Structure 1
Amino acid sequence: MGGGGQLADTPEAGSSRDAGVFTWEEVQKHSSRKDQWLVINRKVYNITQWTKRHPGGSSVISLYAGEDATEAFTAFHPDLNFVRKFLKPLLIGELAAAEPSQDPNKNIAIIEDFERLRVQAEKDGLFKTKPLFFCLHLGHILLLEILAWTLVWLWGTGWTVTLLCAALLATSQAQAGWLQHDFGHLSVFKKSKWNHLVHKFVIGHLKGASASWWNHLHYRHHSKPNVLDKDPDVNMSGLFVLGAVQPVEYGIKKIKHMPYNHQHQYFFLLGPPLLIPVVFNLQILTTMISRRDWVDLAWYVSFYLRFFYCYIPFYGFLGSVALITFVRFLESHWFVWVTQMNHLPMEIDHERRQEWLTTQLQATCNIEQSFFNDWFSGHLNFQIEHHLFPRMPRHSYHLVAPQVRELCKKHGVPYQIKSLWRAMADVVSSLKTSGDLWLDAYLHK
């Protein structure tokens, strides 16, 4: 199950394995695609073969090759004892007694204080779900769907009714997006299998997307937020340059796939309107078919069968296609602004292997709390707390936030809170700043 056979193929690794004791320097050497070790609680594991079977996706666990993965391991897995059963065959040794428990480049005091905060949050019941909260959230999504159909059934297919129907459906889709996010992070049920099952229903049948596609992308984002070449959310395929580092690198190399100094303007044409209707839909179909993920494909098809069954009698086939496209168009604007306002204006850089708290805080900010902001963003206005505790039910974010702020203050880690409008405006201003950096480097370096 583990990489034992492969490990013995190299004399250096073989001799170390016999001793079963490693230094950080040696662990860090094993970070290539075909040779991957990582450390969890001072134990050293060879994950080279296991990556292909990792339920969260091979790319997620590979991000920690050559590193200490203790904090990420604890953050993502609800049942640590269960997961350790899979780790046992991969164990090849432990860190030498003289080696620090964490990567020497990390701040041990921050790591220890954050772990105490996490343990206290567990004791305070902040990881326990309130079933009524999620039932009500699902109920209001279904109610929006019913209202949209009822409007057309009662008052016909005029422009006013159709626009109102599309707005209700887009709202339902956006809110279903936040709900699938809860199940995808295993933050609703105690048992992971129930979260996975309901996740497939919500993202597949209620939204027409793929759970596996979402998991593989989103967990990579959480593992290394705003890290170039590792976080898929900052991989813009050459359409945009982000942060302060990438624009200068592109400029020096004379890379000009787009007129990046105007990216804050063409963002309005390429970003919000196209992400869900075009980019995500193509990615979802390609991923399901290439991976032969027939279960997700069946859920995906069930959404469209239900939608067309409901609306073809009123709009015909082409009219129904136009309706769902317009709904996706509206939803895409909602989704892009909410997801980008917490991350895009923050630090975007190459891997620096920092402790979990610092990594997440440099890449995320919060939006002011209000009933509307909570609902509008699916509580992702508490993006900092969500990134620090991805398994925590969202109704607990506001309870742990004061403790997180105190911890950040103690260690001098910036904790940013913005208004909703300021955060959205910062998306555009950050794109302009990055574009200007690119132009300066392109012309003068």
Structure 2
Amino acid sequence: MGRGSQGAAPSANGDAPLQRKLEQFTWEQVKEKTADQKWLVIDKEVYNITNWARKHPGGSKVITHYAGQDATDAFKAFHNDLSFVKKYMKAIHIGSLAEKEQQVKPIEEDFRQLRATAEKMNLFKPSVTFFVLQLAHILLLDWASWAILYYFGTGWIAYLFSMAAITTVEGQVGWLQHDFGHLSVFRSSKLNHALHYFTIGLIKGASPSWWNHMHYQHHAKPNVMDKDPDVRLEALFVVGDHMPVKVAKEKKKSMPYNWQNYYFFLIGPPLLFPVYFQIMLFRYIWTRKAWMDLLMVTIFFIKFFYLFTPLLGIGGAIAYYFTFRCLESHWFTWVAQSNHIPMDIDEDQALPWLKLQLQATCNVEKSVFNDWFTGHLNFQIEHHLFPTMPRHNLYKIAPLVKSLCEKHGVPYQVKPLGTAFADIVRSLKHSGDLWASTYHAYHAEVPSS
């Protein structure tokens, strides 16, 4: 495979350098991925990300998920300041696509025009007032969760009001840290990162780096098996139409997935935050040596036990902590999974950005409550298409997105909130039954080795 020039060559007389002509490549060459050679394409230009992936601020996996593919729309979706980012791309620029390989699909061209329209409409400009109010009501409720117990005692009525306040804090700060994590609040990445550490680290007690590592992969390849961490081949659940078949054929002993729509209520929403996320975030911090994240999480726990142990005792404070984690877990799980689990889940098909996101996401109807309760992720489709767009503007671009989907025959789904929640259980039952039928048919025909 040919390699493009990576810089300027000196002239024959040693004076000013002469710029080498970069090579041209075919898609066949770009797709030739090996362990030590990974390329991708952005705006018809070819980049060698083999070594850069390890230095990539968003993590190595999120960029290598596009190795051998056109990453143009993903690149534009994740970066606010393209001119700044492109300065770092010069060193890994190795050439261009050959002219005959540069055709852009109509669906891609139309989507890029839609993004340009959104920019002209100033839909990427955040409202300072909106985000100040979001943070203010979180901080007020955070204080209230302690003040209620301090001033009114620890009777069951005060306890319930305090629990409602802190559960709301953790639910709402989850949506707000999501805004900072996606760089959708400030033009400055540093300010977004600083507030991300404050909200997810000090208020929520989680690791910002771990969230970035997981969530950006999800956005880059939503519902893509072995790339989206949210639909990995785990031991407890199978989802979609393809994963159940794959697991059934590969495993002769496994969970009774045909019962997963029942045990989901026992080990899904109740345990995701109190158990699984707690283990995974501390594992990530330790293995990645993310000491700043450890400091933020440590401060969160010191603050929590300093405030609540005198009121509830150490045992009571621990019980209080795991109770609101369990309630928060229900809130997050039902909202987050309602947009994705009932949708298509498959291997990577290198789909255009619009089709990739639409096959993996659906919306929930707009209302004042739904907007607040879901952190505007009831507009999950628009958020996935434009992850850096401030969430209060997502509803404004929705009609144009729907129109574009109709033009290209891409399904655009909007559901009532209750239907979206019920579809999680229905899809788990469908996938579980598919696993069971495949498992029994396949292993009845294939003798044990």
Place the TM-score, normalised by the shorter chain, in its bin.
over 0.9
**Aligned residue type for 2:27:** W
Q: Secondary structure of 2:278's match? A: helix
TM-fit CA distance, 1:178: 0.2
Write the distance in 2 (CA, Å) between the matches of 1:55 and 1:14.
25
TM score, norm. by length of structure 1: 0.94
User: Which residue in the other structure is 1:115 paired with?
Assistant: 112
User: Which residue in the other structure is 1:13 paired with?
Assistant: 2
1:317/1:128 CA distance change after superposition, 3 Å: same
Q: 2:238 aligns with which of 236, 241, 244?
A: 241
**Aligned residue type for 1:220:** Q
Q: Secondary structure of 1:92's match? A: strand
Query: What are the residue-to-residue correspondences of 1:15-414 with 2, within 5 Å?
Result: 20-30=23-33, 32-102=34-104, 108-414=105-411
Write the distance in 2 (CA, Å) between the matches of 1:413 and 1:168.
41
TM-fit CA distance, 1:248: 1.4
**Aligned residue type for 2:167:** A
Structure 1: give runs of 5+ residues left out of the alignment.
1-11, 103-107
Write the distance in 2 (CA, Å) between the matches of 1:233 and 1:19.
39
1:60/1:33 CA distance change after superposition, 3 Å: farther
Residue pair 2:339, 2:363 contacting (<8 A) in 1 also: yes
Residue pair 2:343, 2:359 contacting (<8 A) in 1 also: yes
Q: Secondary structure of 2:99's match? A: coil
Superposition RMSD in Å? 1.4
Write the distance in 1 (CA, Å) between the matches of 2:331 and 2:272.
11
Write the distance in 2 (CA, Å) between the matches of 1:238 and 1:289.
23
Structure 2: give runs of 5+ residues left out of the alignment.
7-20, 443-449
User: Which residue in the other structure is 2:447 paired with?
Assistant: none
**Aligned residue type for 1:24:** W
1:212-257, Cα deviation, whole Å (9 max, x unpaired):
1000100000000000000001115221111011111222334442
**Aligned residue type for 1:363:** A
Write the distance in 1 (CA, Å) between the matches of 2:144 and 2:295.
26
Percent identical pairs in the alignment equals 54
Residue pair 1:34, 1:48 contacting (<8 A) in 2 also: yes
Residue pair 1:250, 1:256 contacting (<8 A) in 2 also: no
Write the distance in 2 (CA, Å) between the matches of 1:74 and 1:413.
21
**Aligned residue type for 1:172:** V
**For this pair of structures, how many residues does the alignment match?**
428
Write the distance in 1 (CA, Å) between the matches of 2:26 and 2:92.
18
TM-fit CA distance, 1:15: 8.2
1:413-434, Cα deviation, whole Å (9 max, x unpaired):
0000000000000000000000
Q: Secondary structure of 1:122's match? A: helix
Q: Secondary structure of 1:13's match? A: coil
Q: Secondary structure of 1:328's match? A: helix
Write the distance in 1 (CA, Å) between the matches of 2:256 and 2:60.
35
Q: Secondary structure of 1:21's match? A: strand
Q: Secondary structure of 1:94's match? A: strand
